[in-house]
A and B are shown apart, each in its own frame.
Chain A
């Protein structure tokens, strides 16, 4: 099969479909029957991109070197799974995956039945325009279907994939993350349509909600997977390095988190509409910025693709065009969106306003930290670094405020301060969190950062527990009545409980695993031991091993506690000849909710002595569990069960725990 020809033909067909979708969707004289045609174009666009992706994947599976992209990024000796995942392990292939997901959301929008046909037509048009621009970008600058140049020497084999990317975590991390990034495009398109129409209302909120929650859950999971990959594959002993590309994924997540709370206010109370529209544009703008950042070469990062300034400029233009265009439209039409429902400051709306404010400030902080080094370098020529100490100082206090707002927001009723039953719960939560933190820190010793993290975690736990208790009618109700009341909660309420519970676990996991981390580094000859937190690690020696496409040195360690062997651990170092690159494969042993983490460094003294880094990360599994719970909560809330939808929930639940 001529992969280059068919791939390019399919991309051209996709461009044409996107053109039809955009034209019919945005043409001023459009009529209702055009919606069906634009929808059909959206589906055609999706199908042609899925097929194009399939073509590329087949070329990777068979290591067909007639494609330049396969030659540059694959190798016939790789395991099949990594040949397939290698399809999106490079700039061009991952861009095609990005496009495919964009078109997938476009097709899903075509099946959305909410709102007027005018709004749906406009939204499809905007999504079509996005698709058109990015398919054109791919065809013009980054086609994965570029043939292997005829005048180059006949290749023997491909150049191989970066060994760091040959990993299950990295195989699923980008697709998940992209569903998150690109899913926000649907929210953007519906918002731009609403702005053009001058009507952003409850119907808009109901329309964007499932798209937003699916995207946000995927983004949560994608960021979590990225952190997990960094933790066990990089071997640096941490999971988050405030790396520019990590920040690039965090920014849309922060905007998305603020937005989904704001959308809730629009849906329930028909308020905060202009702010919501601005956030929707910002969230997708941040996604585009992330896409641009990874591929532009403007920042260095472990996650960045091979960089090319020319592509970067093109992507920057698209980012500015769509984000700037969105904000211009907002400036022009945003005034038409009126806040027509009043609320008092001490109310759930008030809490959500504060939540949005704090998340936005955090977003701005991450933005400053990411781009300030570039600003300084361009303006003064000197290079600076913005690293973890900066973000910790800035994010710590914000996390405490956010956690307090979260607990308050869960307990206070909509619209008014109510009868104030929440005040007692809040006092208890604040008191318990401070006292618990003080006790823990006096017992174990710890930094201000640990204190802030612990206070924040306990406050969120308190908020979630108090919310559950109130929903169950406790204290007061009998056990069976409480269970019955909890069983009657809607899937949206369970989604909220799960997600906020996940936030509590995640905060606790992050705080404890980083601030109470123990680490030791030492050169060890075979037979020697190091101790860390009451555990003795003995270096037994090493053996050689050959893998499918690498050779490895495997070290053996025995871990003892009070002279009892509790674990055998085998960290290793791999060498991949195809890429001429070495990787560290850490050994991780779970102990309770924490981990022992062992990484082999370089050898010294003629190769016998090994430099070893050993860590204990207490409670780190709470972090992974928390991330999964947050994503799960979002997904559960995205698709309310039909039964729960039919059993009408009271619109404004202002039930209070009156003691």
Chain B
């Protein structure tokens, strides 16, 4: 009974792990390809990088640790999701600031446009 349950749990666990691996693959750029993640690439290097991801997962790394490990070896260029570091401040905050600024502008349009006719 316990063995059967354990087996069921294991069978469920295996595909979940692959899903997690694919999620990580989709966040890593294949360095020799053109703008392709290692999840989609057939290149030799993409194979190597996918193996690396699975190795680190097997070693018990968390998602962030896996990404950090790969980044250490291949550079920040491989991160399809750019780091939230100081130099990428504009990249991450820019749209928010634009939305707030634009919202204020739209509000001022409403203020001046809000005189109902008649």
Residues on A close to B: CB < 8 A? 236-238, 241-244, 271-272, 275, 300-302, 339, 341-345, 349-350, 353-354, 357, 360-361, 364-365, 368-369, 372, 376, 380, 382-390, 394, 415-416, 519, 584, 599, 601-602, 611, 613
Give the residues in chain A near B105, CB-CB below 8 Å.
357
Give the residues in chain B near A237, CB-CB below 8 Å.
40
Stretch at the interface among B6-14, B58-66, B91-99: B91-99
Q: Decide: B76 and A384 in contact? CB cutoff 8 A.
A: yes
9 nearest A-B residue pairs (beta carbon): A387-B80, A389-B81, A601-B42, A345-B110, A236-B40, A365-B95, A383-B77, A357-B102, A372-B91
User: Given A342-B114, A354-B106, A519-B22, does the pair A241, B88 have CB atoms closer than 8 Å?
Assistant: no
Q: Decide: B106 and A390 in contact? CB cutoff 8 A.
A: no
Give the residues in chain A near B83, CB-CB below 8 Å.
384
Give the residues in chain A near B95, CB-CB below 8 Å.
361, 364-365, 368, 394
Q: Decide: A342 and B115 in contact? CB cutoff 8 A.
A: yes
User: Given A342-B114, A342-B116, A385-B78, does the pair A380, B36 have CB atoms closer than 8 Å?
Assistant: no
Q: Which single residue of chain A is at the shortest CB-CB distance from B79?
A: A385
User: Given A241-B35, A357-B103, does the pair A385, B80 have CB atoms closer than 8 Å?
Assistant: yes
User: Given A368-B94, A387-B80, A390-B81, does the pair A416, B116 have CB atoms closer than 8 Å?
Assistant: yes
Q: Is B70's beta carbon under 8 Å from chain A?
A: no
Q: Which single residue of chain B is at the shortest CB-CB distance from A415?
A: B117
Give the residues in chain B near A386, CB-CB below 8 Å.
80, 82, 91
Which one of A236, A353, A613 contacts B110 once the chains associate, using CB atoms below 8 Å? A353
Give the residues in chain B near A394, CB-CB below 8 Å.
95
CA distance A394 to B44 in the complex (A): 32
The tally of CB-CB contacts under 8 A between chains A and B is 126
CA distance A300 to B36 in the complex (A): 12
Q: Decide: A236 and B36 in contact? CB cutoff 8 A.
A: yes
Q: Decide: B36 and A384 in contact? CB cutoff 8 A.
A: no
User: Given A300-B35, A372-B91, A383-B75, does the pair A390, B40 have CB atoms closer than 8 Å?
Assistant: no
CA distance A378 to B44 in the complex (A): 30
Give the residues in chain A near B109, CB-CB below 8 Å.
272, 275, 339, 353
User: Given A353-B109, A383-B77, A384-B88, does the pair A238, B40 have CB atoms closer than 8 Å?
Assistant: yes
Give the residues in chain B near A243, CB-CB below 8 Å.
34-35
Q: Decide: B98 and A360 in contact? CB cutoff 8 A.
A: yes
Q: Decide: A368 and B76 in contact? CB cutoff 8 A.
A: no
Q: Which single residue of chain B is at the shortest CB-CB distance from A393?
A: B81
Q: List 12 A-B contacts (CB under 8 A).
A: A302-B35, A342-B117, A357-B106, A365-B94, A368-B94, A383-B76, A385-B29, A385-B77, A387-B82, A416-B116, A519-B22, A601-B42
Q: Decide: B82 and A342 in contact? CB cutoff 8 A.
A: no
CA distance A559 to B41 in the complex (A): 23
Q: Decide: B34 and A344 in contact? CB cutoff 8 A.
A: no
Give the residues in chain B near A238, CB-CB below 8 Å.
40
Q: Decide: B94 and A389 in contact? CB cutoff 8 A.
A: no
Q: Decide: A389 and B80 in contact? CB cutoff 8 A.
A: yes
CB distance from B23 to the nearest CB of A (A): 9
Tell me the B22-80 residues at the A interface (CB within 8 Å): 22, 26-27, 29, 34-37, 39-42, 44, 75-80
Q: Decide: B90 and A372 in contact? CB cutoff 8 A.
A: yes
Give the residues in chain A near B77, CB-CB below 8 Å.
383-385
Q: Decide: B110 and A350 in contact? CB cutoff 8 A.
A: yes
CB distance from B104 to the nearest CB of A (A): 10
CA distance A155 to B110 in the complex (A): 68
CB distance from A386 to the nearest CB of B (A): 5
CB distance from A153 to the nearest CB of B (A): 33
CB distance from B15 to the nearest CB of A (A): 10
Q: Which single residue of chain B is at the shortest CB-CB distance from A372?
A: B91
Give the residues in chain A near B41, CB-CB below 8 Å.
236
CB distance from A274 to the nearest CB of B (A): 10
Q: Decide: B81 and A361 in contact? CB cutoff 8 A.
A: no
Give the residues in chain A near B78, CB-CB below 8 Å.
385
CA distance A421 to B23 in the complex (A): 45
CA distance A243 to B26 in the complex (A): 15
CA distance A617 to B106 in the complex (A): 40
Give the residues in chain B near A415, CB-CB below 8 Å.
117
User: Given A357-B106, A382-B76, A385-B80, does the pair A364, B98 have CB atoms closer than 8 Å?
Assistant: yes
CB distance from A529 to the nearest CB of B (A): 17
CA distance A613 to B37 in the complex (A): 14
CB distance from A8 to the nearest CB of B (A): 35
Which one of B82, B98, B99, B113 contacts A384 once the chains associate, using CB atoms below 8 Å? B82
Give the residues in chain A near B81, CB-CB below 8 Å.
387, 389-390
